[in-house]
Amino acid sequence: MDAALLLNVEGVKKTILHGGTGDLPNFITGSRVTFHFRTTKCDEERTMIDDSKQVGQPMHIIIGNMFKLEVWEILLTSMRVSEVAEFWCDTIHTGVYPILSRSLRQLAEGKDPTEWHVHTCGLANMFAYHTLGYEDLDELQKEPQPLIFVIELLQVEAPSEYQRETWNLSNNEKMQAVPVLHGEGNRLFKLGRYEAASAKYQEAIVCLRNLQTKEKPWEVQWLKLEKMINTLILNYCQCLLKKEEYYEVLEHTGDILRHHPGIVKAYYLRARAHAEVWNEAEAKADLEKVLELEPSMRKVVHRELRLLESRLEEKREEERLRCRNMLG
């Protein structure tokens, strides 16, 4: 074992347990780092808190992506691939660890596997809890203490070498991704691949929602993003109509119209969803609103009204036959 090495960071001490291979990797912003870790207390028993090998999956973080336990990025970028090192970290670096640990344990229990990728917005909500649900983590949260991390670096991938998840993208990359995802969704919709198209629209919506949180509500840039989001939600609703998920269409279109009551497409799609679930009055009211806001859609509206009346007549006829059969 090498002698303890002090990194150029206050409150961190490193001891190499097993040397790595090759040169120090190029940890550029956006690189994905894969590693195993074991966390213990600094007591005589080295009481174990977490162990990724016991969970059965390694951990991933993205360099420069504001991972909440920032010290881990410092530790990892001092390592070579296949290196195993022990890091003693003082309390200034470990205060948020109990919250991270809670997420990792939920993964092990099969509750929410996405929590491996813990990032700022996910962690912010956790501060609302009075308890983390684990006695030892509650104790750590009340009385932060130094911790020991034993880390094995498995892999370092440049941004171009892996498929990045939406939340891993920078703001500029998110904005650039939106038209690509939108276009891909449209292409898949035309091919009749509604499930795949839905996923593309949803991914684009997530990008824009994330960008929107950085703007002041109802100001110019926020409203521009809101308009783009509404367009994508309505495209998503078209997929839902094809998949016969009518009540979800009613929910999404209703939400849009509560905030933006002048969007014609929202009324039109809601009218179609109402018609499919036999809400005759609501469907007709929405179609009348479409006509009021966009008179050029008269032919489309009249076609939908004829279709609605035809379906209602078929339903009435079915009910008449059912009644006759029951009486007969």
Rg (CA), the chain: 28
- Of 139-148, 159-168, 249-258, 310-319, which gets the smallest average pLDDT? 159-168
Q: Cβ(8)–Cβ(38) under 8 Å?
A: no
Per residue in 28-75, pLDDT (tens digit) is 988 899 999 999 999 999 999 999 998 888 988 888 765 667 899 999
Q: Is the pLDDT of residue 5 over 80?
A: no
Q: Is the pLDDT of residue 126 over 60?
A: no
Tokens of 171: 């703001």
Q: What is the structure's pLDDT at 301?
A: 92
Q: Is the pLDDT of residue 200 over 50?
A: yes
Q: What is the structure's pLDDT at 122?
A: 38
Q: Is the pLDDT of residue 145 over 70?
A: yes
Higher pLDDT, 253 or 102: 253
Q: What is the structure's pLDDT at 83?
A: 96
| Biggest CA-to-CA distance, the chain | 95
Q: Is the pLDDT of residue 328 over 90?
A: no
All residues at 6 or more sequence positions from 204 whose CB lies less than 8 Å from its CB, including other chains: 177, 178, 181, 182, 185, 232
Q: How far apart are CA 172 and CA 6, in angstroms?
A: 37
The percent of residues in the chain predicted with pLDDT above 90, rounded, is: 58
Q: Is the pLDDT of residue 172 over 90?
A: no
What's the pLDDT band for 130 if we cut at 50, 70, 90? low
The percent of residues in the chain predicted with pLDDT above 70, rounded, is: 89
Q: Is the pLDDT of residue 104 over 80?
A: no
Q: What are phi and psi of 2, to 5 degrees?
A: -70, 155
Mean pLDDT taken over the chain: 86
> What does the DSSP 8-state code read for residue 247?
H
Q: Is the pLDDT of residue 121 over 60?
A: no
- Of 7-16, 131-140, 167-176, 231-240, which gets the smallest average pLDDT? 167-176
